[in-house]
């Protein structure tokens, strides 16, 4: 009997395996978020220790972002060739070992190099973990659980901000990296001991029927494997490697539009987040309060992303993102004009975080579903890689605007532009995917 693996997974109920996969993915993303703030936390301490100015660490701060750029694209391709599980293990080991070695550096060049390698590992985990999680989730909660898992990155920045002072007091700046390196290495042990390979990947690689059947029973206990079963996916794919699946016909327009939206989303996310404490303190707000507002902004992203995911499962994810990016354009402008009232500022910060960071989380889940199994981690990896150009350019453009004398009102009004472009891009993407799905439906008949 032929078994449609997609259909059985989509009809499954949430069980222990689903919860376990989301929890492991959340921990992996937690590390990615922690890594983003780790270097920023120790610059004031290490600059004094090394006798350098904080501005001398600009390349060290950017090195991990460049590493993420290469890691996302490279690991995405690797995940579609050797498997999600082993790619996650390799990337976690790279990130964990390099982060643990950071306290051993004694020069700026060594610090830049080790931060670049850490970024490769941390960035490489993201697309593969997103693809892996989505491939196990039933349709009725797919976006919700994938976005919740992805929100671990936002929680990592929050935890890093609160935990950093304690680690610095315990053992100085090396403890920030020792703790950060311990987390991914611990997760590696769990992955090797208990995490199965993606069933969709295994079936796409023509695994033995008994292997597919046994794993499918874990995903959906209502299904029972029988001798003589053969397992397949309902996807229509093209000839060639995973990269070829990103292009060809209407798929080329889908991929390029997705890249544009990722660029705008990452630019918006980093432009708002990286400059928030500086801009708020320039308005006369204390640094402690500014960091508190930033933490609430990030928490708003976790709540907003989860809410968007749940709504996307009930309705359709792309219209949800169109609304989210449109609201983000309004709220970032409102944030810039809310500094005169602390209660208003806090309220707008939470809402702005919910739309800006929340839409970025939701975008990752949506993008993962735009490609077939054999090219899924490649597709999301390359999209995240293109998005990193946005995150890298955000501090540069923001710094130039700040140097010109522009304040929070002007800068955050400017931030509405990429939000509007993202909303428009999602409208185009929605239309393209609907037409593409119709073409694939005809092709599969």
Mean pLDDT of 178-200: 95
**Mean pLDDT score, 257-284:** 90
The residue count for the chain: 445
- Is the four-CA dihedral 323, 326, 331, 332 of positive or negative sign? positive
Q: Interior CA angle at 18 toward 219 and 192, to 5°? A: 90
pLDDT (tens digit per residue) in 10-25: 999 999 999 999 999 9
Buried b / exposed e along 262-294 (16+ C-beta atoms within 10 A):
bbbbbbbbbbbbbbbbebbeeeebeeeebbbbb
CA–chain centroid gap for 161, Å, is: 19
Describe the crossing of helices 342-368 and 152-171 by its angle, rounded to 10 degrees: 120
Distance CA 278, CA 276 (A): 6
Nearest alpha carbon to residue 5 among 197, 140, 201, 149 = 201
> What pLDDT does residue 441 have?
57
Tens-place pLDDT, residues 126-185 = 999 999 999 999 988 988 999 999 999 888 887 887 788 888 889 889 999 999 999 999
Looking up tokens 């904080």 gives 54
Q: What is the pLDDT of residue 273?
A: 82
Q: What is the pLDDT of residue 52?
A: 86
CB atoms within 10 A of CB 330: 15
The DSSP element (H or E) to which 185 belongs, if any, is helix 173-194
Q: Locate CATH 1.20.1250.20 in the chain.
A: 1-230, 240-445
**Higher-confidence position of 55 and 349:** 349
Nearest to 153 by CA among 27, 310, 20: 27
* Alpha-carbon gap, residue 414 to 409, rounded angstroms: 9
- At 356-399, the pLDDT tens digits run 999 999 998 888 888 888 888 889 999 998 998 998 888 788 88
Instruction: Please tell me the predicted confidence (pLDDT) of residue 163.
Output: 83
**Is 316's pLDDT higher than 60?**
yes
In the prediction, which pLDDT does 239 show? Answer: 54
List of E strands, 138-280: 230-232
pLDDT for res 149: 93
The mean of the pLDDT values for the chain is 89
Q: What does the pLDDT read at residue 352?
A: 96
Q: pLDDT at position 90, please?
A: 97
CATH code, 1-230: 1.20.1250.20
Could you give the CA distance from residue 210 to residue 306 in angstroms, rounded to a whole number?
36
| Band (125; pLDDT cuts 50, 70, 90) | very high
Pairwise CA distance, residues 413 & 410, whole Å = 5
* Close Cβ partners of 100 (under 8 Å, ≥ 6 residues apart): 177, 178, 180, 181, 182, 185
Cβ-contact 300, 353 below 8 angstroms: yes
Lowest-confidence segment of 43-57, 186-200, 215-229 by average pLDDT: 43-57
Identify which of 107, 122, 95 has the alpha carbon closest to the alpha carbon of residue 46. 107
Per residue in 82-116, pLDDT tens?
A: 999 999 999 999 999 999 999 999 999 999 999 99
Distance (Å, whole) CA 174 – CA 106: 12
- In 10 A of CB 128, how many CB atoms? 30
Binning pLDDT at 50, 70 and 90, where does residue 238 land?
low
Give the residues across from 230 on adjacent strands: 2
- pLDDT at position 445: 52
Q: Where are the beta strands (DSSP E) in 116-261?
A: 230-232
* Alpha-carbon dihedral angle through residues 230, 235, 240, 242, given to the nearest 10 degrees: -100
394-418 residue pLDDT tens:
878 888 888 888 989 999 999 999 9
- Residue 30 phi, psi (nearest 5): -60, -45
Q: Is the pLDDT of residue 354 over 90?
A: yes
Can you identify the CATH homologous superfamily of domain 240-445?
MFS general substrate transporter like domains (1.20.1250.20)
At 241, the pLDDT band (50, 70, 90 cuts) reads: low
């Amino acid at each position: 009997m032929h078994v449609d693996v997609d259909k059985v997974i989509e009809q499954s109920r949430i069980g222990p395996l689903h919860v376990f996969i989301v929890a492991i993915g959340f921990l992996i993303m937690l590390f990615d978020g922690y890594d983003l703030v780790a270097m920023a936390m120790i610059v004031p301490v290490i600059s004094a220790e090394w006798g350098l100015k904080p501005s001398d660490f600009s390349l060290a701060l950017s090195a991990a972002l460049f590493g993420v750029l290469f890691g996302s694209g490279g690991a995405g391709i690797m995940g579609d060739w050797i498997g999600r599980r082993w790619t996650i293990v390799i990337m976690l080991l790279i990130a964990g070992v390099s982060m643990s070695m950071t306290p051993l550096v004694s020069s700026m060049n060594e610090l830049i190099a080790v931060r670049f390698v850490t970024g490769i590992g941390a960035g490489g985990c993201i697309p593969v973990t997103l693809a892996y999680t989505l491939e196990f989730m039933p349709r009725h909660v797919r976006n919700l659980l994938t976005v919740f898992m992805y929100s671990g990155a936002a929680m990592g920045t929050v935890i890093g901000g609160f935990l950093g002072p304690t680690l610095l007091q315990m053992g100085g700046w090396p403890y920030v990296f020792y703790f950060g390196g311990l987390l991914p290495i611990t997760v590696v042990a769990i992955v090797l001991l208990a995490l199965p390979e993606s069933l969709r990947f295994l079936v796409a690689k023509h695994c033995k029927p008994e292997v597919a059947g046994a794993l499918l029973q874990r995903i959906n206990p209502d299904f029972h494997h029988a001798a003589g079963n053969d397992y397949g996916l309902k996807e229509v794919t093209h000839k060639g490697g995973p990269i070829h699946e990103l292009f060809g016909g209407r798929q080329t327009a889908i991929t390029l539009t997705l890249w544009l939206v990722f660029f705008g989303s990452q630019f918006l996310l980093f432009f708002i987040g990286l400059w928030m404490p500086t801009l708020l303190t320039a308005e006369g707000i204390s640094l402690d309060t500014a960091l508190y507002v930033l933490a609430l902004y990030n928490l708003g992203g976790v709540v907003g992303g989860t809410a968007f995911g749940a709504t996307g499962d009930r309705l359709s994810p792309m219209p949800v993102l169109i609304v989210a990016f449109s609201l983000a354009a309004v709220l970032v402008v409102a944030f810039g004009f809310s500094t005169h009232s602390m209660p208003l500022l806090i309220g707008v910060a939470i809402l702005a975080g919910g739309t800006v960071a929340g839409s970025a989380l939701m975008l990752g889940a949506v993008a993962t579903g735009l490609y077939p199994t054999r090219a899924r981690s490649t597709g999301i990896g390359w999209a995240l890689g293109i998005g990193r150009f946005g995150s890298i350019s955000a501090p540069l453009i923001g710094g130039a605007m700040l140097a010109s004398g522009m304040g929070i009102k002007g800068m955050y009004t400017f931030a509405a532009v990429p939000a509007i472009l993202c909303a428009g891009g999602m409208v185009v993407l929605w239309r393209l995917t609907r037409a593409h799905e119709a073409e694939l439906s005809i092709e599969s008949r």
